[in-house]
Chains A and B, each alone.
Chain A
Amino acid sequence: MASEAVPERSGRAAEVAHGLRAYGLIVRMWIRSTLAYRTSFVLMALGNFAASALDFVAIVLMFSQIDALGGFTLPEVAFLYGTATLSLGLADLLLGSMDRLGSRVRDGTLDTLLLRPVPVFAQVAADRFALRRLGRIGQALLVLGWSVTRLDVDWTAGRVLLAVVTALSGAAIFAAVFTAGAAFQFWAQDAAEVQNSFTYGGTTMLQYPPTVFAKDLVRGVTFLVPLAFVNWLPALRLMGRPDPLGLPGWADFLGPAVAALMCAGAGLAWRHGLRAYRSTGS
């Protein structure tokens, strides 16, 4: 009843198009304003790159003392690292501002978004679009590129496709976590850290081989918060490794389906949260 004006199915599609257009408008405006201070932007992007790269430096240092981590070589860990970081980087670039929702609810600026003739989601997602987050993506691509040259994998068209689809569906899974986390903030305004533990924390976990973690933890990120589908399962298949849970082989290809389910769930949570906000005002 309190939903947006969505007449029928065609209306839903029109709303999505409308939202994407609004997202594009706001993002373009932020990019323009970012590039007005070019030096500052370059420094920020480099900072983002460096902060992200330090994680990998830690891994490299570790390998100066050991030959394998949980049975995985450095290029293999680098592949896991690259795919997880790339997926997070993409989601962070597109929706990274969503964790500010709680503070917007608290200071009342969410109300001003409700006054504009475009979907609130697009406005929240595009708010303060930070191009500097390309730094993380660039760093992930470098590590990924290096690992691909070192890995003993026959890159057939099918494998390349699986890798690309994995990166994208992984980004979609993180996007769903960002969205669900933001939706949760309609009720708990200080809960930004909860989603951060799944996104940034989850990524740190996915950067390492699943074999170094306790089985129950791996089960948790497979069945509860299915982050394992971001990169672990498909990456293990690409590298010809068995997965520690012994799931059936087709599970490695479930990434896009898991991503779609999670996005649908996150979308529902968002709608529900916004509706609750509009009926209680806080």
Chain B
Amino acid sequence: MTAGQLIEVDGLEKVFSVRRKAGRLRRVRHEVRAVDGITFQVPRGEMVGYIGPNGAGKSTTIKMLTGILVPSGGRLRIAGIDPARERTRLARRIGVVFGQRTTLWWDLPLKDSYELVRRMYRVPDAVYRTNLDRCTELLDLGPLLDVPVRQLSLGQRMRGDIAAALLHDPEVLYLDEPTIGLDVVSKAKVRSFLREVNAERGTTVLLTTHDLTDIEQLCRRVMVIDHGRLVYDGSLDGLRAAGEGERTLVVDLERELPPIQDVPGARVVKVEGPRQWLAFPAAQSAAPLVTAVAERYPLVDLSLREPEIEGVIARLYRPSAALGSPPTLSADPP
């Protein structure tokens, strides 16, 4: 076991055998490689974003990391534990939040659910008190404790779920789309709480999301999965560079003019009345560009846009799709 690595994944695979209708009675079996040889390590205390398009294999990976699914191949250790073989032992050391479904008891009040968690995980009283008080305070759960889970709004339920996942002091917290469907305020609340938990307790966090703001605000490291393979593992800035991102200078001119042409290193990508969009390489400074435009054109106002991370990722996905990968099948089991 490599020292300091809490999560060790080596050549992890998950192959589903799917039966498809072909004609009236005939069924054709074929294999879907939902996770196709993934290798990575996560050291203790890190917050990692795990992103990719729908069906890329994110949820399947999380399910293997938590012991729900048994891998088809490869090696997997969480804190030295093999999740497939020792699922219940692992359960005490990890916390899991699924954005799409609650792990709480639907009909029980939140505090009863917590009480049940306390007993199931055999959380010592003092630890439980401290953790519950802290979560209640930071996630504003006070007024919700007596409400049955089914009556909670999505945002409230999510906060309730996150608290439930942390009552037993897990070393790792897996969050599968924790901000899905939440409003801006709830998202901000959840993010600041996660930051705090990570900073205070050193909880390792692995987060899948479609909202890249989550990643930008929480994770220094991001892994991108597509068609079951890791296509990127590194910093967020590096991801932008890897996508050969362009920055955009938006200029407002005094009046409608033909597209700006004589500015080196930039090209006009869009014109809308007096407003024009100039794209230029992300690595290049914007200053000479602004000077050049201002010298030659009646400039009224300007703004600078950083490369959209969505666009970067879209570009990153494209090559693998062009390589003739199998058609995108939902890797999430039906």
Q: Which residues of A contact B (CB under 8 A)?
A: 1-2, 4-5, 22, 25-26, 29, 32-33, 107-109, 111-112, 114-119, 128, 275, 278-282
Given contacts A115-B91, A280-B17, A282-B334, 10 further A-B contacts (CB under 8 A): A1-B84, A4-B88, A29-B108, A33-B107, A33-B109, A116-B103, A278-B70, A278-B84, A281-B68, A281-B333
Q: How far is the CA of A275 from the CA of B86 in the complex (A)?
A: 13
Query: B16, B68, B92 — which one has the most chain A CB atoms within 10 A of its CB?
Result: B68
B235 at the binding interface (Cβ < 8 Å): no
- Which chain B residues lie closer than 8 Å to A5 at the CB level? 85-89
A107 to B72, CA, bound (A): 24
A115 to B102, CA, bound (A): 12
B119 surroundings in chain A (CB, below 8 A): 25
Q: A2-B84, A117-B121 known; A112 and B101 CB under 8 Å? A: yes
Q: Which chain B residues numbered 69 to 93 have a C-beta less than 8 Å away from chain A?
A: 69-70, 72, 84-89, 91-92
A32 to B107, CA, bound (A): 12
> Which residues on A sit within 8 Å (CB–CB) of B116?
25-26, 29
| A107 proximity list for chain B (CB < 8 A) | 101
Nearest CB of chain A from residue B116's CB, rounded to whole Å? 5
Question: Contact: A115 with B103, CB < 8 Å?
Answer: yes
Cβ of A112: which chain B residues have Cβ within 8 Å of it?
Answer: 98, 101-103
Using an 8 Å CB-CB cutoff, how does the interface string of B89-132 with A read, 1 for contact, 0 for none? Answer: 10110101010111101011100100110011100000000000
Note all chain B residues with C-beta closer than 8 A to A32.
112
Task: Check A281–B16 contact: CB distance below 8 A.
Answer: yes
- Say yes or no: is B60 at the interface (Cβ < 8 Å to chain A): yes
Q: List residues of chain B with CB within 8 A of the CB of A279.
A: 69-70, 72
Closest residue of chain A to B90 (Cβ to Cβ) is A117
- Asked if B276 lies at the interface with its beta carbon under 8 angstroms from chain A, I say no
Contact indicator B112/A29 (Cβ below 8 Å): yes
Using known A-B contacts A4-B87, A29-B108, A279-B69, determine if residue A117 contacts B101 with beta carbons closer than 8 Å: no
Are the CB atoms of B92 and A117 closer together than 8 Å?
yes
> Once the chains are docked, how many angstroms separate the CA of A111 from the CA of B108?
19
Q: How large is the interface on B (under 10, 10 to 19, 20 to 34, 35 or more residues)?
A: 35 or more
Contact call B115/A117, Cβ cutoff below 8 A? no
Q: B196: shortest Cβ distance to chain A, in Å?
A: 23
Shortest beta-carbon distance from B289 to chain A in Å: 51
Q: For B68, list chain A residues within 8 Å (CB).
A: 111, 114-115, 278, 281
* Minimum CB–CB distance for B149 against chain A, Å: 12
CB distance from A127 to the nearest CB of B (A): 8
Which residues of chain B come closer than 8 Å to A117, judged between CB atoms?
A: 88-89, 91-92, 120-121
Please, how many angstroms separate the alpha-carbon atoms of A1 and B109 in the complex? 38
How far, in angstroms, from A109 to B121 measured CA to CA in the complex?
Answer: 19
- Asked if B63 CB lies within 8 Å of chain A CBs, one says yes
Determine the distance from Cα of A119 to Cα of B334 in the docked complex, in whole angstroms. Answer: 24
Among B66, B84, B88, the most chain A Cβ lie within 10 Å of the Cβ of B88
Find chain A residues with CB under 8 A from B72 CB: 279
Q: When the two chains form their complex, are residues B98 and A111 in contact, meaning their CB atoms are under 8 A apart?
A: yes
**B57: Cβ under 8 A from any A Cβ:** no
22 contacts between A and B (CB under 8 A): A2-B85, A5-B86, A5-B88, A5-B89, A22-B120, A26-B116, A32-B112, A33-B108, A111-B63, A111-B101, A112-B102, A114-B87, A116-B91, A116-B121, A117-B89, A119-B88, A128-B107, A278-B69, A278-B70, A279-B70, A280-B17, A281-B63
Any A CB within 8 A of the CB of B52 = no
**Nearest A residue (CB) for B62:** A111
Determine the residue in chain A with the shortest Cβ distance to B103. A112
B67 contacts chain A at the CB level, 8 A cutoff = yes
Nearest chain A CB to B76 CB, angstrom units = 13
Rounded to whole Å, the gap between the CB of A183 and the closest CB of chain B is 18
Docked CA distance A33–B98 (Å): 25
Shortest distance between the CB of A22 and any CB in chain B (Å): 6
CA distance A142 to B67 in the complex (A): 48
Q: Given A4-B88, A5-B86, A128-B107: A115 and B66 within 8 A (CB)?
A: yes
Contacts of B100 in A (CB 8 A): 108
Residues of A within 8 A of B121 (CB): 116-117
In the complex, the chain B residue whose C-beta lies closest to that of A119 is: B88
A278 and B83 CA atoms in complex are apart in Å by: 12
Contacts of A280 in B (CB 8 A): 16-17, 333
CB distance from A170 to the nearest CB of B (A): 31
**B98 near A29: Cβ-Cβ < 8 Å:** no
B64 to chain A, nearest CB (A): 10
